[in-house]
Structure 1
Amino acid sequence: MVAETLPVNGIELCVETFGEPGDPALLLIAGGASSMDWWEDEFCRRLAAAGRHVIRYDHRDTGRSTSFPAGKPPYSGVDLAHDALGVLDVVNVHRAHLVGLSMGGALAQKITVERPHRVLSLTLMSTAVGPDKSDEASPRDPDPVWADRRAAVTKIVAGVQELGGLFTADEPHLRRLAERVYDRTADMAATQTNHWCCASGPPFRDKLGTITAPTLILHGTVDPFFPAADAHALQEAIPGSRLVWLEGVGHEFPPAAVWSQVITEIIGQAALRKAH
């Protein structure tokens, strides 16, 4: 289906699906300051071809979703988690396999702890255990660079490269993707600022031990943002979770070189669910 802007929680979120609605639903939850474009089209198509109804969406303040004043977001991490559930509601999905990356992984943890009946399985990528305390909102001034398309695209590409690994896409590919992101985004300054300065909401780390959904942890071996110790701590916190290393991968959306491994592991969660 073509991406649609749909009413969710009093705002509008841009949502796109791949595959057959009758297949088990799989919700992709992107990282902070990231629109759904970073879940690349071909990656989504391959997941759908493996028998999943794939759903991706733009967080508030990204892509074509509702945008708020840069540096002063009137929402918290609680709202971002509720948005993910609202996306499922608006596409008439009651239960889904959740796949969350970085900040999206924290949101997926929160949903699984608080709304376990909505979760078929949980896949956490390039992330860490959820917060153990509440962080207050911290308004900040946005960087003027985000108003200039060329400079912003260059900065986005450099950021991906800095956190990437051995298989990060080449610069022309990243530049094309960053240009697409920029051109789809209502306010790039809000995108690159607001998720980092909104309040986190109540902590839930002490509740991770209650998770019963089959849980897969995918973590890059050269992630410079969340080192190996974070992946091990996450595995210890969630009973029965499996930790699978992505060799040579950094803190990034899955690069094409590991798509086959990542998709095989994600699809394998369904078998675990049936046996659970």
Structure 2
Amino acid sequence: MTERVVEVDGIELCVESFGDPSQPPVLLVMGTGASMLWWEDGFCRMLAEGGRFVIRYDHRDTGRSVTYEVGRPGYTGADLVADAARVLDAHEIPAAHIVGVSAGGALAQLLALDHPDRVSSLVLISTSCAVSIDCELPPPTEEFMRFFSDAHVDWSDTGSVIDHQVAYARVLAGGRRPFDEAAARSLVRRDVERAHDFMAVRNHDALPDGELPDAPLSSIAAPTLVIHGSADPLFPLRHGEVLAEHIPGARMLTLPDAGHGVERADWTTIAAAILEHTAANGRQ
């Protein structure tokens, strides 16, 4: 496990790898607003022990990657897509299996549309369609929307930020399983204290799209596995089902009672599915 800062095209990104570099590469793309720590160490080690070279990284304005003034990020959503390719370039990897969660799943779709040669396969977790489709999708749950309408956080106070992020993690968990607040608080505290400037993460809330591909999801050629929790409050299950329906040949794995994200209770199931999917689609 090695964490380092790489510079590609003048952009500094913090990356960390697990496993043997000679093994098939798997690039983990976290959702916007979240650092690579949310791909937890134990989960990354599961994939590495399964014979994969696993790479995770901090998005801009998260963790130890380049940080911009709050309200003036100077980059776009398209730049976050390009950053995934930059991380591969830094490791001299021509193509990898791309695993994206939440908005990271959207970034993974856009990478597959814009740079199909860099994507050996796709795994899309707790996400939705990254481009327009002719289909109406359900909105977030009432509880999720109520959380944001009632939330109060002082971004200048570390304690307030940690409490807010833990409460957000509880809502994202979906409410059908016990919530491990101690584990969530430990992870959130580590995330906040590790960041150059945790307040900068708010830049992700208002990023312009930039020049994104306009091709339909049906043009994605990469073998795709969609993984979605049945209790996801942000993107209800239908989002994952529609995504799988629109990407040719995509397979769907539903996680009963799981919320939004990669929950510890599902690590074994998700890791096994990723290892199986990447073994079956071994182009590197």
TM-score by structure 1 length? Answer: 0.91
Q: Is the 8 A contact 1:110 1:204 kept in 2?
A: yes
CA distance in 2 between partners of 1:272 and 1:214 (Å): 9
* Number of equivalenced pairs: 264
Among 178, 182, 186, which residue is 1:176 paired with? 186
| Structure 1 residue 269 displacement after superposition | 1.2
CA shift, 1:225, in A, is 0.8
Which AA in structure 1 matches 2:131?
A: P
Cα distance, 1:202 vs structure 2? 4.0
1:80-229 mapped onto 2 (5 Å cutoff): 80-132=80-132, 145-165=154-174, 166-167=176-177, 169-191=179-201, 193-204=202-213, 206-229=215-238
Give the letter aligned to residue 243 of structure 1.
Answer: M
Q: Aligned partner of 1:269: which letter? A: H
Identify unmatched segments of 5+ residues in structure 2.
Answer: 134-151
Shift of 1:274: 4.8
Q: Structure 1 residue 257: deviation in Å?
A: 1.1
How far is the alpha carbon of 1:203 from its aligned partner? 4.9
Change in 2 beyond 3 A, CA 1:237/1:201: farther
For residue 34 of structure 2, give the secondary structure of its aligned residue in structure 1: coil
Q: Are residues 1:248 and 2:257 paired?
A: yes
Instruction: After TM superposition, give the deviation of residue 241 of structure 1 in Å.
Output: 0.2
CA distance in 1, matches of 2:282, 2:44: 23
Asked whether the 8 Å contact 1:4–1:16 carries over to 2, the reply is: yes
**In 1, Cα distance between equivalents of 2:33 and 2:193:** 15
Q: Shift of residue 93 of structure 1? A: 1.0
RMSD: 1.7
Residue pair 2:2, 2:18 contacting (<8 A) in 1 also:
no
- In structure 1, how many angstroms separate the alpha carbons of the residues matched to 2:184 and 2:88? 29
* Residue equivalent to 2:267: 259
Q: Tell me the residue number matched to 2:22.
A: 22
- Identity over aligned residues, as a percent? 43
3-state DSSP of counterpart to 1:146: coil
**Equivalence for 1:7:** 7
Q: CA deviation at 1:158?
A: 0.3
Distance 2:222 2:108 in 1: 12
Identify unmatched segments of 5+ residues in structure 1: 134-142
* Deviation at residue 231 of structure 1 after TM alignment: 1.2
Q: CA deviation at 1:195?
A: 1.1
Partners of 2:180 and 2:252 lie apart in 1 by 28
TM-score norm. by structure 2 comes to: 0.89
1:208 CA drift (Å): 1.4
Moved more, 197-206 or 167-176: 197-206
Query: 1:144 deviation in Å?
Result: 6.7
